[in-house]
Structure 1
Amino acid sequence: MSARPRHALYAQSGGVTAVINVSAQAVIETARAHPGHFARLYAGRNGILGVLDEDLIDTGAESAGAIAALRHTPGGAFGSCRYKLKGLDQHRSEYERLIAVLRAHDIGTFFYNGGGDSADTCLKVAQIGRELGYPLQAIHIPKTMDNDLPLTDCCPGFGSVAKYSAVSIREAGLDVASMAASSTQVFILEVMGRHAGWTAAAGGLAATRAGEAPQLILFPEIVFDEDRFLAAVEASVKRWGYCAIVASEGLRDAENRFLSEAGGSDAFGHAQLGGLAPLLAQRIKQRLGRKCHYAVADYLMRAARHIASATDVEQAYAVGRAAVEQAMAGASGVMVTIERLADSPYRWTTGTAPLEQVANVEKKMPRDFITADGFHITEACRRYLLPLIAGEDYPPYADGLPLHTELANTAVPRQLPPRRL
């Protein structure tokens, strides 16, 4: 490290969560606690795109109170993006622009807060610093409601979504059960989860004994068989009077096609999904003649800070703080991880994993977390999930609504000509 402290840069990426701003709070507060190590901490407006556009934010202009209030504010305080850096050989000018911006602002540390694709971006930033002769530390801070990052016990953002799934299907199940004799008998809650069924699995925590909602869970890891599914729905209605279902958006058929693929793809190149629940509801009505309602949780579940898991909030702060501590210790090219030490009582700590082993790798549900019939979670899965939804961390309220902070997001003066697209 040079004798003179250099600046650091933090940015958010991918779909935001209820607690990503808690990690931002931790990074900023920890960096402020060590003024001799970092000259200033900037943020990229809208993730890596803000870096490429030299659209940087001076977090030092924010008050301590505003930063502390990030703890209970959902969304992405600095803006996020879905943008993946291309290969260096094909897009060298993009990397040169990135390094030019970092160099112009004397940024020596890059913190990127996101999921698997963001880990890939962070890895590439670490690599280009070396290849282009610019000294740079790059550290990935995990965040994904999908819980699909490898080499970490869980991902900040997931615990709160898991709590939302379990609470929502329990409440909806009681509603449907009370009306099933003369009204709706089948209810479907569609949840996020493209390739991994963690979010759907969390709904299974609501059922503590036979017959409680959800009676059925549909996982991306289990090939969808329409006849088996409809038979299970009918059996549940006949036995319990109703059937509540949690369905993952990433459900696939025997040809490995998404049932809900809507056509097109997002900026990361992933197929756009949408409409699984109405599709299932239509087939239930057509083939079983059962009245069926559905709900699509979508952004509501990932934005639900009002029902965040206390464990999730604590872990989101811990990984942000650990990222800064790792940078001060000289680390680069790593992701901060959460390491489980015990299930009951739940104990955990933070660690690190090489980004080469994290980027573009998805952690799916183990088969022994899913029951033999493919429609529910096992006790092993329940033991894993329960600690992650534990505890409440309610935001402050005023006039019946939760309070959130809005940052000033003061721009850092540009030093370079605009980027050529």
Structure 2
Amino acid sequence: MAAATLLYAQSGGVTAVINATAAAVIETGRRHGLRVLAARDGILGVLREELIDTTPLPASTVTALGRTPGGAFGSCRYKLGSLDADRAKYQRLIDVFRAHDVRYFLYNGGNDSADTALKVSRLAAEFDYPLACIGVPKTVDNDLAVTDTCPGFGSAAKYTAVSVREAALDVAAMASTSTKVFVYEAMGRHAGWLAAAAGLAGRTADDAPHVILFPERAFDEPAFLAKVREVVERVGHCVVVASEGIRAADGTFVADAGGGKDAFGHSQLGGVAPLLAARVKDSLGYKVHWTVPDYLQRSARHLASETDLEQAVAVGRAAVDYAVKGRNAVMPVIVRTRDRPYRWKIEPAPLEDIANHERTMPDDFIREDGYGITDAARRYLEPLIRGEAPPKYGRDGLPKYVRIPLPCIEKRLPAFEA
């Protein structure tokens, strides 16, 4: 009897530890005797019937995959509409599942991915096709509902806090004759979790970051400039961390790049750091430097959080276990059971409680003046960046990352017409 087939796909922006989840899915699937396929470039790979058989991958390669950043099988930003509006595409997904006897579908992504997995589970039920759909959490933005945190966030948060602390030492050393203000741009469209993580870099009011700008608070330029001036006059320099998604009081993005919208209907953001730097220079006359780490925040596997890595592996294992046990339309979420010492566990949560819900920073995590984090935020964030999980390094001094072969199995259906 042929082994049952599990299909795994990655979605949206990748992370430093998403491949650890992928490796855990493959390893756990093998323990259950499953054939594990991976879609090339996420849900588009399913629609195009571009499926990769992971069976030939040696165990050593799968282990190395778990220490490699990026998305090994390719990801995509591709939004499926409602079951009615995009019915032909959902029907195509079922046809591909049926053609390859896929009985378990694991979609590793964020809010929109959870929504897609939920809709596919409903369509499969309508067609009486036996399919278990499991959403697997992932996002550096940390904005998924229900779960305490999202795999990928802890490592990006660690990178942010470390980078801000190190850069602040550089700025402090040069402030008397050179740079007075440094602006660091953090990812975060609607939720300021990564910007908040920068707050872990310092402890006192005189420690960097001195100013954090959150998307949860309307940006007030005169108040911001006054705060920067006050910090420079008191401390001698000022380190600013700004979320890319900060908005003016009327709701418009401060740094809308004017590049249209992506597949999820999101405006292209970019350049809030240079914009703020220019305002500070022009208004206050200080010498300013700025940085936009962008992809560096989510690809920095060399600074991965051990906690984050453990959780990325745990959700991958649990997702396979849930599918095999017959659970459907659920996601393995992280449940915090204790702050000190930090303790957590994995539990299933219904996709309908997660899909298209966005979790922003709680009010009590943002300091009363709106420019920093509170002790409550620090208690939440600190355990997530704890521990080191460095990759193995080669004789050339660089991490030993793996690139796996991606040949697709033979197609059985007519070509997909977008």
Fold conserved between structures, TM > 0.5: yes
Whole-angstrom CA distance in 2 between matches of 1:91 and 1:146: 27
1:247 aligned residue: 242
SS of structure 2 residue aligned to 1:144: coil
2:263 to 264, 267, 279: 267
Q: Deviations over 1:316-368 (max 9, x none)?
A: 00000000111121101011100001111110000111111101111000010
1:126 aligned residue: 121
Whole-angstrom CA distance in 2 between matches of 1:218 and 1:91: 39
Superposition misfits of 4+ residues, deviation over 6 angstroms: none
Unaligned runs of 5+ in 1: none
Q: Deviations over 1:359-381 (max 9, x none)?
A: 11110000100000000000000
Q: Deviations over 1:20-48 (max 9, x none)?
A: 0000010000111111xx2x110000001
2:314 aligned residue: 318
Q: TM-score, normalised by structure 1?
A: 0.98
Whole-angstrom CA distance in 1 between matches of 2:100 and 2:60: 27
2:412 aligned residue: 415
Contact 1:8–1:42 under 8 Å retained in 2: yes
1:108 aligned residue: 103
SS of structure 2 residue aligned to 1:360: coil
Q: CA deviation at 1:4?
A: 6.6
Instruction: Count the aligned residue pairs.
Output: 416
Whole-angstrom CA distance in 1 between matches of 2:2 and 2:12: 33
Whole-angstrom CA distance in 2 between matches of 1:115 and 1:268: 12
1:66 aligned residue: 61
Whole-angstrom CA distance in 2 between matches of 1:335 and 1:239: 49
Contact 1:278–1:294 under 8 Å retained in 2: yes
1:402 alignment partner AA: P
1:11 aligned residue: 9
2:139 aligned residue: 144
Whole-angstrom CA distance in 1 between matches of 2:192 and 2:127: 40
SS of structure 1 residue aligned to 2:55: helix
Whole-angstrom CA distance in 2 between matches of 1:220 and 1:92: 35
Whole-angstrom CA distance in 2 between matches of 1:280 and 1:268: 27
1:345 aligned residue: 341
Whole-angstrom CA distance in 2 between matches of 1:87 and 1:118: 13
Contact 1:61–1:410 under 8 Å retained in 2: no
Moved more, 401-410 or 46-55: 401-410
SS of structure 2 residue aligned to 1:397: coil
1:332 pairs with 2:347: no
Whole-angstrom CA distance in 2 between matches of 1:241 and 1:400: 37
Q: CA deviation at 1:258?
A: 0.5
Q: TM-score, normalised by structure 2?
A: 0.98
1:369 pairs with 2:362: no
Whole-angstrom CA distance in 2 between matches of 1:317 and 1:287: 48
Contact 1:59–1:410 under 8 Å retained in 2: no
SS of structure 2 residue aligned to 1:42: strand
Q: Deviations over 1:41-82 (max 9, x none)?
A: 100000010000000000111110110001210000000000
SS of structure 1 residue aligned to 2:66: helix
Q: CA deviation at 1:5?
A: 4.5
1:229 aligned residue: 224
1:23 aligned residue: 21
Whole-angstrom CA distance in 2 between matches of 1:132 and 1:409: 31
- What is the correspondence of 1:34-73 to structure 2 with a 5 Å cutoff? 34-35=32-33, 38=34, 40-73=35-68
1:81 aligned residue: 76
Unaligned runs of 5+ in 2: none
2:276 to 267, 280, 298: 280
| Identity of matched residues, % | 59
Whole-angstrom CA distance in 2 between matches of 1:331 and 1:5: 19
2:165 to 170, 180, 204: 170
Whole-angstrom CA distance in 1 between matches of 2:274 and 2:88: 45
Whole-angstrom CA distance in 1 between matches of 2:179 and 2:169: 12
Moved more, 227-236 or 88-97: 88-97
Whole-angstrom CA distance in 2 between matches of 1:318 and 1:152: 13
1:135 aligned residue: 130
1:408 alignment partner AA: P
SS of structure 1 residue aligned to 2:136: strand
Contact 1:114–1:144 under 8 Å retained in 2: yes
